Structure formats: C-alpha cells, structure tokens
Amino acid sequence: MQKKRIVLNYPQHLVDQPVLSKLVKDYDLVVNIMRARITPKEEGRLVLELTGKRAGMEAGLKYLSEIGVQTQSLAQDVKWHEDRCTHCTACISVCPMKALDVQRTNMEVSFKRDKCIACELCIPVCPYQAMEILF
Amino acid sequence: MAKTIEEINDKIKKGKAVVLTAEEIIGYAAEKGAKKAAQEVDVVTTGTFGPMCSSGAYFNVGHTKPRIKLGGGKTYLNDVPVYTGLAAVDFFLGATAMPDDDPRNRIYPGKFAYGGAYVIEELVAGKDVRLTATAYGTDCYPRKTLETYISLKDMNEAVLFNIRNAYQNYNVAVNLSDRMIYTYMGVLQPKMGNANYCNAGQLSPLMNDPFYKTIGIGTRIFLGGGIGYVVGNGTQHNPDVKRTEGGIPKVTAGTLAVKGDLKMMSPKWLRGTSFTGYGVTLTVGIGVPIPVLNEEILRYTTVRDEEILAQVVDYSDSYPQCNPGSLGEANYRQLKSGRITVQGKEIPTAGLSSYLKAREVAQTLKEWIEAGKFFLTRPVELLPSVDSGVVLKTLKERPIKKI
Ligand code: SF4
Ligand code: SF4
C-alpha cells in the first residue's frame, strides 16, 4: 500500500466530471479530500490524500494527466521561511500533524514537509510570517 | 573577594575576563560552588528576543531646501504615521503605528500585516522608505509638501528608543471562554485549549539580577544587534511584588527603558511582528551583561527555569476586565516542556519569545566581551528596587463635568 498527498489543478471543463469516483472505482484508490477550492477563474484546486496499491496509484496519476488534470506534490505549496522563523514555538501547539515541531533540548523549531497537510492552522498563529501556503 | 567594574574591564582589555552565559553559569556554579565560581567568573551574559510593543525610534532627517516644518503637520514613513509634535525635521515612529487605511480588525480577525515595526526593520536592513509629509508653511519654513525616498544613512540621527522592554516575568495566557480569542499573547483556543508564555526564563536579563543590584541608568547592553544603553526603568516598572524565596517576582515586575543607535543595529534582531486580531509590534533582541561583583550577585545569576514561576491568567475575561486573579502557577521548565496542568487540565504550551534566539543573544554578547569589543559600565543610578516605594497604579477615571 502507498500513500500520497497531492494537489490537483482542474481545468474549468473538468469541474463537473466524475474524476474522483473514477479514481476510486477504476484504480481502487482510497481518496481523502483534505482541502478544496474553486479559483476565481473557475479552476478547481484540490488537496487529496490517495491510498492504494502501487500499480493503481501509478495508473491513477497517469489517468489524471491524460485528461488534463495537473498534479503536483503538496510539498511545493507549503513554505517554511527558515530565515523568518524565530523559533518562538507559537505554532507548535496548533500544528495537528507535528509538521512544525520543536527539539525540546535546545528549543529549535523544524518543519517536516512530508507531514504537513496544508491545513493553514499555523498561518494566523505565526507572528513572524514564516509560514506561507500558496494554495 | 569582591570585584569592581574597573577590575573586570581591565581583564576584558587584557583578554583575560571569564565570561559565561546565564545558561552556562548554572552548571558551572553547581560544579565549582558559588564561592569559587564568584571568584573565577567575571561576567554573566543574559538574553531575550520577544515582542515588545513599547518600542519605537526617533529620527532627524535633515533640513530640506526650501525648509519645511514637519512639526504640527502630518508625516508618514511608508504610509505609517509618525509623531511630529516636535521641531522641524524630528519625529518619532512607534512600533505599533499602522497605515491610516489599514482595515485594522474590520475584516475579522484582522491581519495587521504592516506597521511601524516593519518600517524599523526595513530601515535597519538598509532599505529606502517613502517619506511623505504635509505641513502648514510659515515664513521661516515655507514648504508645504514633501515626498522622497530616504534611508538610514541619509539621516542625521536614527535612534531606537524603547520606553518599556525586557519585562521581568510575564503572564501565561489562557482562554476560559468557548470562542477563539485573538490577543497580544497570540491566538488562544477556547476552553483552555492552549497556554502561551512570553519570557526567556533563566536567560532573561532581569531574572538574573532580580533586585537590580547591577543594572541601572547607563548600563551598556546588546540592543537589536548593536550597542545600546539602559536609560532608566521602563514604564510600569513595579518592583514591590510577591517574590519567591530566591527573590524572583512571581508576577510581572521590573522593566527597562533602553536606547541605541539604529544605524549600528541589524534586522535580524529587530523584527516586525504581527499578532492576528491584535496588531503590529516589534520583536527586540536585548542582552544585559551582569558583572559578577560578589557571591550574592553570582547566586542570582544561577537561577534555573524550574525556580521561576509565572501566573496563568484568563485573557477572555479577567485580563480585559482588569480583574486580578490567577488560575494557577507554572514554572518555565514546565512551560518549555510543552505541557502544563491548570486546575486539573493538561494543556499544551507555546512560547512567543524565542529561547533559541535568547541564547544566541547571550552567546553573542559573551563573544563581544571575550574579544575585547564590549566593556561594562557602572550605572550612574540603579533601578528602583523593592524598597523604593514605587507602586503601579491603574487609572482612576473622574467624570468630566459638562457645563
Ligand atoms: S499547514 Fe497545518 S500541518 Fe502544515 S505546518 Fe501548518 S499547521 Fe502544520
Ligand atoms: S510560529 Fe512562526 S516563527 Fe514561531 S516557530 Fe512557528 S514558524 Fe517559527
């Protein structure tokens, strides 16, 4: 079994197509929608967590690219500006995934991209504008 | 054997001074004993890097040709209004000032993305800012408008002047209500979902000299990455409060007023800061050297996080209503562990003041002293202490008579 967090960019003409149900039915993937948004240009933006067998995952992603849905890994959309981070730890108690975490021995904060689900809870909490999410 | 500031400075000059940070001295004194440590160690360096709203800077931008009198008119730096109730080309910029057209919290909860503190950070980074002004024009200062770029190096004086910084201890903020609240202590989750604290604990300057036996007017300090001076007690300085056996205040107590040449400072240690739903503030790096003049002073510098207690205060009601009352106490070791227990409930904690950066301030100051670049000063007067009779008052409102 594999797990992948990806961002989908839907062009306007696909917004009303049953893309996700195809991922479930034809490629045997478990689809968990973490965030969804329609941009002002009527394009869809989705953050998905896909779980399934490797073959199904590969075929599913291939299907998406063939119908014109762009995918990218979630990591690219979340930025921790290390130079702006003061290691204040204000974000630590709100990050549900421990993507932002602190080493208690020296109080150094770190960001683990692969744990982040782009939930944006840290955005209003960080006083130093160190977190940026381009979604 | 007691030492004097002059003896310590002599050692600094010869490169022989023994300097430890407020963190390092703890283990050192535990191993050597207080008496021996007091003989061997000359200076203990402290540090803090936290949001301090009562910060600002004054400037003299030089006379224009023809002349303009900014005093009494309106002047802005990058659209942030400055205080011009002074002479022709002097003005004061406060850290929390915001552009007139900033929506504040009209768009809930309010981002407060820009303000005076950011202008200070940009100036210190060497950037150009827009200076715009309107004035009423006089015979001797005829000009009525001004629009120009300006940077720190164009100015005559640029001085950071913070009327209250480096609070000795601070509240731990929680929220007892059932809605999220946005405060200067950060975003507080309902029903005590989190607790925020804001002090460097054992590294914090005034925790290491709790009765102000070495710190006073004229104490040379690390300020914003450059050199600054303590100019007196900060506003709301309140020395006569409940203290632990070791002398550490259990509530907010002493404060410092500080100044320093902005041109020598660094944007790394003066950071514009935005509290969602509250406002803009400046995060300031401050480090105070404590001269180890005798064993008593050394003992104060060995204070540990677990010996420093702070009060847990409800920011949904008791703080805004100015009602006294604490929900409990927590020490800084517990606060830094990430969890405290308040009235039987375990709650996650988070800091607003950076302990990692506080350590870096103390370390930097230590290196400056070791390198013979920074000498200690003898204050001309110490800060008012517990026996000074200073009391902190709240405002007693008296209705204004309508005639
Ligand atoms: S977006 Fe969410 S998961 Fe990612 S770092 Fe911020 S709080 Fe954590
Ligand atoms: S709240 Fe912002 S500045 Fe503070 S530790 Fe988290 S990311 Fe860094």
CA–CA dist B55, B257 (Å, integer): 9
Residue A68 backbone dihedrals phi, psi, to 5 degrees: 100, 15
Local confidence band at A36 (pLDDT 50, 70, 90 cut-offs): confident
CA–CA dist B141, B355 (Å, integer): 50
pLDDT for B1 equals 66
Query: Who lines ligand 2 at CB under 6 A?
Result: A 85-91, 100, 109, 126, 128, 130-131
Nearest to B316 by CA among B196, B192, B198, B170: B192
User: Which 8-state DSSP code applies to residue B249?
Assistant: B
> A121 at the B interface (CB within 8 A)?
no
**Which of ligand 2's atoms lies nearest the C-alpha of A80?**
7
A54-67 and A19-27 are packed helices; what angle lies between their axes, rounded to 10 degrees?
A: 150
Q: Quick check: B281 and B135 in contact, CB under 8 A?
A: no
3-state SS string over chain A? CEEEEEEEEECHHHCCCCHHHHHHHHHCCEEEEEEEEECCCCCEEEEEEEEECHHHHHHHHHHHHHHCCEEEEHHHHEEECCCCCCCCCCCCCCCCCCCEEEECCCCEEEECHHHCCCCCCHHHHCCCCCEEECC
Q: Give the count of beta carbons closer than 10 Å to the beta carbon of residue A121.
A: 16
Question: Cis omega (within 30 of 0) on the bond before B109?
Answer: yes
Could you tell me the domains of chain A? 2-76 (3.30.70.260), 81-133 (3.30.70.20)
pLDDT for A17 equals 80
CA–CA dist B125, B269 (Å, integer): 11
Interchain CB contacts (distance < 8 Å): A and B:
73
pLDDT at residue A43 greater than cutoff 90: no
Which residues on A lie below 8 Å from B51 (Cβ)? 127
Q: Closest Cα of chain B to A80: distance in Å?
A: 16
Tally of CA atoms within 13 A in the half-sphere of A74 that contains its CB: 21
Instruction: Kindly list the averaged pLDDT for each block of 10 residues, start to end, along chain B of length 403.
Output: 93 98 98 97 98 98 98 97 97 98 95 97 98 98 98 98 97 97 97 97 98 98 98 98 97 98 98 98 98 98 98 98 96 98 97 98 98 98 97 96 88
Q: Quick check: B312 and B342 in contact, CB under 8 A?
A: yes
Q: Closest Cα of chain A to B245: distance in Å?
A: 27
Cα dihedral A84→A90→A93→A99 (10° resolution): 0
Question: Cis omega (within 30 of 0) on the bond before B66?
Answer: yes
Annotated active-site residue B53? The verdict is no
Q: How far is the CA of B338 from the centre of ligand 1 (A)?
A: 18
pLDDT for A15 equals 74
Give me B23's structure tokens: 């963190």
pLDDT for A70 equals 85
Give the pTM: 0.91
Local confidence band at A45 (pLDDT 50, 70, 90 cut-offs): confident
pLDDT for A76 equals 67
ipTM of the complex: 0.94
pLDDT at residue A38 greater than cutoff 80: no
Q: How far is the CA of B331 from the centre of ligand 2 (A)?
A: 22
How does pLDDT run across A84-135, given as a tens digit for each residue?
999 999 999 999 899 999 999 999 999 998 888 888 899 999 999 999 987 6
Using CA positions, which residue lies closest to atom 3 of ligand 2? A85
pLDDT for B288 equals 98
Beta strands in B35-189 (DSSP E): 43-45, 48-51, 56-60, 74-77, 80-81, 90-94, 129-134, 145-150, 157-165, 172-174, 181-183, 186-188
**Residue B5, Cα to own-chain centre: how many angstroms?**
25
Local confidence band at A48 (pLDDT 50, 70, 90 cut-offs): confident
Q: Quick check: B234 and B164 in contact, CB under 8 A?
A: yes
CA–CA dist A61, A131 (Å, integer): 29
Which are the contacts of A46, defined by CB distance < 8 A and separation ≥ 6? Answer: A7, A8, A10, A33, A35, A36, A37
CA–CA dist A85, A99 (Å, integer): 14
Contact check, Cβ <8 Å, B352/A90: yes
Q: How far is CA A66 from CA A2, A59, A63, in A?
A: 21, 10, 5
How does pLDDT run across B76-100, given as a tens digit for each residue?
999 999 999 999 999 999 999 999 9
Which are the contacts of B247, defined by CB distance < 8 A and separation ≥ 6? Answer: B210, B211, B300
pLDDT at residue A39 greater than cutoff 80: no
Local confidence band at A75 (pLDDT 50, 70, 90 cut-offs): low
